[in-house]
Amino acid sequence: MSRLQVWWTQYLVGTVELDRNERMEFIYADDWLGFPSAFPISLSLPLRAEKYHEQAHSFFANLLPEADVRVRLCQRLKVTPGNDFELLRLIGGECAGALTLGDTPPANPSSTADYRPITSEQLRLWSLSNAPDVFSSTVGRDGVRLSLAGAQDKLPVRLDGNATSLPLGPAPSTHLLKFASPHFKHLPENECLLGMIAGKLGLPVPSADLWRPEGGGTILVVERYDRRQEGAKIVRLHQEDFCQALGRSPLRKYQKEGGPRPGELAAIVRTHGSLPVVDLRLLVSWGLFNWLFGNCDGHAKNASLLLSPDKGVRLAPFYDLVCTRVYKSLDRNLAMSFGRQFDPGQVLRRDLEEYARELQVGPRLVWGALEEQLDRSETAIAAGCEEFVQRFGDSPILEMVSQQLAKNLKRARNTLR
């Protein structure tokens, strides 16, 4: 029987196995269940002695890359694209959250032997928009076992001063490099700018930077919120996205295809959150931001929870914020609805009121958060663009996004009237 061990630092948490239908199942280790600091790896997988079946497959499958990135990776590694277990075996050394998967526990995370330097020339080649897929061409060979969910081309790395290196085996990373796309112009700049605007509106977002290697393109550099530096040591913090917390397959991340609804996210925060009042308001603000600021890809895998023995369950900083509306080839509908309305241009007062009822919050909370974002939007956009220019210089994305946001906000103000 195929098996894969799951580790938290040096402790064996449990074992992933394949059942007769080639689906992953998971059982907690007896020692872990007796460990005073033991925690459940997911809200959908509470601590118990009995084996988990379908919920386990959903949790672990959600750690893996998706779409074209996954297809290209599987082609290179000679793995059937639907073989989640084999893919985890090959690349599950450094995943989102605090867990590592492998036959042996991870080595000392501060060991420099677990990293390979990345040259400036390599960064330049990766930054080119016509470069081959960076993730699939790097991961799964020569000791590189990195896994990240999502369809975007990105790579976990360690930054140490001016040095950039590639984690080997289960060595932890500190940042994500997100690369230019041949299909969507100025994508790193777009995400960087929208994150700045979100931060100025009070939404928690990860720290981000833009690198422009000489003779190359642009790379977005995002600090990992699920890692913490303690001297020379990198500490993994546990997290899971809402598909994992709800036991939902990554094939069902969009609401229209059976993925989580806003109310299901709110129910998780209300039931398990350590500060539910604060995080429910943040969840409302995130949904409104996606509508007002043109991020139509705000699905359940683009929102996560941090799970801490000390601080409990809290919303993680919001990530993958992109003004997708500037790209005409992308779906114009929202990933999550307001009531029954997915079309951002058709959201009316009654849809927002239904949204409040679904989240089980007072309408005043939704109206207050909406009015606050509308009142502060022009200042936040101007300040975000100014900071962008000061730090990185001019970019066509500034005009592209600003024009789109002006249309969105005008329409939303008419909705309020």
Give the Cβ contact number of residue 368 at 10 Å. 14
Alpha-carbon gap, residue 268 to 387, rounded angstroms: 35
Give the Cβ contact number of residue 104 at 10 Å. 10
DSSP-based three-state secondary structure for 5: strand
Phi/psi for 52 (5° steps) reads -100, 145
Say which DSSP state 358 is in.
H
Residue of 88, 71, 66 whose CA lies nearest to 146: 88
Q: What are the residue numbers of the active site?
A: 297
Residue of 271, 301, 269, 298 whose CA lies nearest to 286: 298
Rg (CA), the chain: 21
Alpha-carbon gap, residue 16 to 85, rounded angstroms: 9
DSSP-based three-state secondary structure for 227: strand
